[in-house]
Structure 1
Amino acid sequence: MQTPIYTSIKLEKLIKKLIKTEPIKNLGLLGKWNATIFHVNRKKCWLVANAKTQYSIILTDIKAKDLKNISDIFKNAFYTQLIYDGIIIDFEIVNSLIGEITFFRTDNDRKTTGFQNDRLSHLEYWKDEFNSLEAMPIKDLTSRMNNIPIHIGESKKMADFTYAKSEMEQCIESIQL
């Protein structure tokens, strides 16, 4: 299985060597993800969001030397964030759900980009509470982002409002059955 991660234009410029152009052969069970870059104290961090559930993960202080292990970094960050959010799952299941990570150029998914920009604005507000990246409780801040009400659906009903954490939990439960 392949899990596609579509990068923002800024992130694409930094990871040119990882960007693939061939089509996806076997789409992963969690669907596609979108990644963008932001900075905290001049350190590069990635915000990666699942397009289906809008569940977010933050990868901190990513350097060029880390790119060869970015798949493991992503899987570990995803696994630990799930555990932190109370979604108990084995790492082997996460590993099989994600499979091989493949980076692609932007797909201009405006909905997911909008969610990411909203999450980054919340993060900017929360960054003022801490002096440095090392002092930031990244798992807690990401959990806060995943517990902000979001609207997933076509109608304007209140029933269409949910949380990214709840959507990811339902998605994983439906896959495991």
Structure 2
Amino acid sequence: MNYTQIYTTRKLEKTIQKSIVEKSQTENKILGEWVATIFHVDRKKCWLIVNKLTKYLLILSDIKISELNNITQIFTKNFHLQLKNDGIEIDFGTLRELVGEIKLCETNNDRSANGSLNNCMPSIDQWKLDYGSFENLPFRKINSGLNSSPNQMLNWKYPKEVMNEKIKAFVQHRV
């Protein structure tokens, strides 16, 4: 079975301490690791997650502590919807196989990933002001905007472009 490890920032780690597990020896060979932080909109907890390899970002909105035992399903469903929104085609079953089981791990202090997350926060804060309330925020649109910005660490490619390449390579390798 595949395992996808999501490392948490200290801020998120304090919020979900009981759901943190030991780092698995086997990691996701295709997607690699992810790093997540928390932000709030109208007192609702939202996560911003970045893929370390592709710099692809994913927003999980209104995550409750009681739902963390279903984090694999929540992540995979939202990831699939965001990929579809970004024009990246993959069958849900194939994506579920690719992601495998989500493991929430304590922080690994990855400066590059944390920098990517921190760079997005001013944009998210601006969107919160522009749209007003949680119910008005178009999370998929915001997420697509973040994944459609060229990234210097990717030689000025778009994160959604690099993620598309990774997913296509996985799908072709399976066939």
TM-score class, shorter-chain normalisation, is over 0.9
Aligned partner of 2:153 in structure 1 is 152
2-structure distance, mates of 1:23, 1:170: 26
- Please report how far the alpha carbon of residue 23 of structure 1 lies from its aligned counterpart in structure 2 after TM superposition: 3.4
Selected match of 1:170 from 154, 165, 172: 165
- Please report how far the alpha carbon of residue 28 of structure 1 lies from its aligned counterpart in structure 2 after TM superposition: 4.4
CA RMSD of aligned residues (A): 1.2
Q: TM-score, normalised by structure 2?
A: 0.93
Structure 2: which amino acid aligns with 1:163? Y
Asked whether the 8 Å contact 1:2–1:28 carries over to 2, the reply is no
Question: Alpha carbons of 1:88 and 1:23: their partners in 2 closer, same or farther (altered >3 Å)?
Answer: closer
- Please report how far the alpha carbon of residue 116 of structure 1 lies from its aligned counterpart in structure 2 after TM superposition: 0.7
Gaps in structure 2 of 5+ consecutive residues: none
Number of equivalences? 171
**Percent of residue pairs bearing the same amino acid type:** 41
Aligned partner of 1:47 in structure 2 is 48
Asked whether the 8 Å contact 2:23–2:105 carries over to 1, the reply is no
Correspondences of 1:84-123 after superposition (within 5 Å)? 84-123=85-124
Gaps in structure 1 of 5+ consecutive residues: 154-159
Moved over 6 A (4+): none
CA deviation digits over 1:9-41, x for unaligned, max 9?
111111112211253234342110000000111
- Please report how far the alpha carbon of residue 121 of structure 1 lies from its aligned counterpart in structure 2 after TM superposition: 1.4
Q: Say which SS state the counterpart of residue 124 (structure 1) adopts.
A: helix
More helix, by proportion: 2
2-structure distance, mates of 1:112, 1:9: 13
Q: Say which SS state the counterpart of residue 134 (structure 1) adopts.
A: helix
2-structure distance, mates of 1:22, 1:99: 15
Asked whether the 8 Å contact 1:2–1:24 carries over to 2, the reply is no
2-structure distance, mates of 1:162, 1:126: 24
Asked whether the 8 Å contact 1:29–1:98 carries over to 2, the reply is no
CA deviation digits over 1:55-103, x for unaligned, max 9?
0110111112111211111000000000000101100111011001111
